[in-house]
Amino acid sequence: MLRRLMTTVVLLLMLATSGASGAAPDRCPVQGGTVRAAMAGSPPTLDFVTSFAAQARDIGVYIYEGLVTIDGNYDAAPQLAERWTTSADGKTYTFHLRKGVKFHDGSPVTAADVVASVERFRAQSPRKADLSMVAGARAVGNGTVEITLSQPSAAFVPLMAYPGPAVAIMPKKLIEGVAAGKLPQSSVIGTGPYRLAEWIPDKHVHLERFAQYSPAPGDPSGYAGRRLACLEHIYFLPVPEVSSRVAGLESGDYDYGQNLPAETYSRLTATKGLKTVILKPYYEIVMHLNTQNGALKEWKLRRAIQVGLNEDEIMLAAAGDKTLYRLDPSLFFKEQYWHSNVGANRYDEHDVAKAKALVKEGGYDGSPLRIITTSDFQFIYNAALAMESQLRQLGFTTKVQAYDYPTMIDIFRKKRGDWDISYNAFSIRTDPGGFTFVLKSESGYQPYASKDVDALLEKALVERDRKARAKLYEQIQDILYKDIPMIKHGDLFGFDALRDRLQGFEPFYTTPRFWNVWSKDKR
């Protein structure tokens, strides 16, 4: 969930005008320099299209570009496509390519490359099901591509824009006949502002500036707009041990550290030569309630939990610092078009007396509520412990079991009778359709089934009017607040740190963006 749930939204396309960093320069104030970025993990492969891993996406966005990408509001925006049109029946999309764009090997980007790339994605990407509505793609001349759908879809363009893994455009001659995951290092050729210089597994990925890069027009926003490669070299170093990332930052071995622990926030903020940046939003922390097995089948007990929780206390425990979270009732982040306050009157009520009365009314028999959580993500673990202590104050008895993430997911999915409350974190940013799998009865993702929710989800997948679509997701949110199959605690922020010689850095998504970043002293 923590990976694929960086999924998807948007019906109508907002061109890349909104979002962050409008003040970014149109040329590099300083050209040159190197950044050594300590990352939480290592990409499993450089055949980015074939991997779900966040580490692959984080590096892939430097090397590759798609027809469209996401902007600062997580909406779809043009990248290699200059513009696109949709047929009246909503089944044919025509993308017009930007002129003069070259691959890292110097060859020009053609419609045939785009078709080959889309076809490879549809055949080999683990995200291929996302494009199951695509019937075919064909080149119309050298600079135009036509993609036809088997049925109209509100999610098609947002899903084309989703970056992990992206529908990356690669040279046809290098990808034809190449099996998934088998793209050789020499064929890692894209159109992005940086090209691959070297990959040594578990040691580093070295990128160097692509001098012939042709940036998209428009102000930088998210992954869209003008991307300038001011730094000459970028080294992504896998440093999975978080204390090593912190120590390396403090000692000067790294210029950037990703995903740092909250307890070091104040210290690193005060450290000379470093600056901290808050990644907002990062994840929303959610607990699932088992509506089909055990004590919480009883709605009154679920409602007792909902009404009794003090979300601020839970989020503080999860985030570790007041500046690293916010309370918000919506399924979607405030930064998204889809955000809604519907149901907010049932969020963070913190009415202990009412909760205790409901526990009684619900006929709670005193058997412990079994809470499963994971110690792999400290924020999830801490949230679970804080929540568990509040449950005891409400009159429940509890039993917490912490597992590594794969084990927790295994139990969550396969052993429905073994838990009452389970934990997870969502980060659904691009299209609200990303929640379809989580909420739809037939997916069996969580022990919850609602015909009303199912019907609304189906409608929302094809509704092309953005406003009407948002209304549908509002209704879904309202039902969830009433049925209580899950309770959102709040939005967690991430925090990274970098050397203050690096200028122009703005956090976005979970990927550090070093384009439009320059080194004051050219080092």
Partner 1 sequence: MTGFLASRALSLAFVLWLVTMIAFVVIRLAPGDPSAIMLGSDATPKAVAEFRAKYGLDRPIAVQYIAWLGRVVRGDLGTSIYLGRPVTTAILERLPVSLTLTLAAFVIAVMLGVTLGLVAAYWHDTWVDRAVSVVAALGLSMPSFWLGICLIYLFAVRWALLPSGGFVEPWVDPPASLRHLLLPAFALGYLQSGLIARMTRTSMLEALRGDFVRTARSKGVAELRVVVKHAFRNALIPVLTVTGIALAVLFGGAVVIETVFTLPGVGRLLVNAVVRRDYAVVQGTLLLVALWYVLVNIAVDILYTVSDPRVRLRAS
Q: Give residues in contact with partner 1 (CB under 8 A).
A: 1-5, 42, 44-45, 47, 50, 52, 126, 129, 180-182, 200-203, 237-241, 243-244, 247-248, 250-253, 376, 403-407, 409-413, 424, 437-438, 443-445
- Please give the DSSP secondary-structure letter assigned to residue 427: -
Answer whether 420's CB lies under 8 Å from 296's CB: yes
d(Cα 167, Cα 352) in Å, to the nearest integer? 49
- Residue whose token pair is 């996401």: 70
Q: Which lies closer to partner 1 via its Cβ, residue 404 or residue 458?
A: 404
* Phi, psi values for residue 262, rounded to 5°: -55, -35
Q: For residue 523, give the 3-state DSSP assignment.
A: coil
Beta-sheet strands, E only, within 375-460: 398-403, 421-426
**Smaller CB distance to partner 1: residue 45 or 73?**
45
**Max CA separation in the chain (angstroms):** 72
CA distance 231 to 211: 11
Please say which residue, 231 or 425, places its beta carbon nearer to partner 1. Answer: 425
| Residue placing its CB nearer to partner 1 in the complex, 202 or 465 | 202
Supply the minimum distance, in Å, between the C-beta of residue 500 and partner 1: 17
3-state secondary structure of 83: strand
Least distance to partner 1 from the beta carbon of 339, Å?
21
Q: Which C-beta is closer to partner 1: that of 80 or that of 408?
A: 408
The identity of residue 515, as a single letter, is W
Return the number of the residue (127 or 489) whose C-beta is nearest partner 1: 127
Residue 379: CB minimum distance to partner 1, A: 16
Nearest approach in angstroms of CB 439 to partner 1 is: 11
Q: How far is the CB of 294 from partner 1 (least distance, A)?
A: 19
* Rounded Cα gap, residues 269 and 267, in angstroms: 5
CB of 182: closest distance to partner 1 in angstroms?
Answer: 7
Q: How far is the CB of 44 from partner 1 (least distance, A)?
A: 5
Indicate the residue among 1 and 359 with the shorter CB distance to partner 1. 1
The helix (H) or strand (E) run that includes residue 237 is: strand 233-238
Class of residue 466 by CB neighbours under 10 A (exposed 0-12, middle 13-18, buried 19+):
middle
| Gap between the Cα atoms of 315 and 223, Å rounded | 29
The residue with tokens 């690193």 is 268
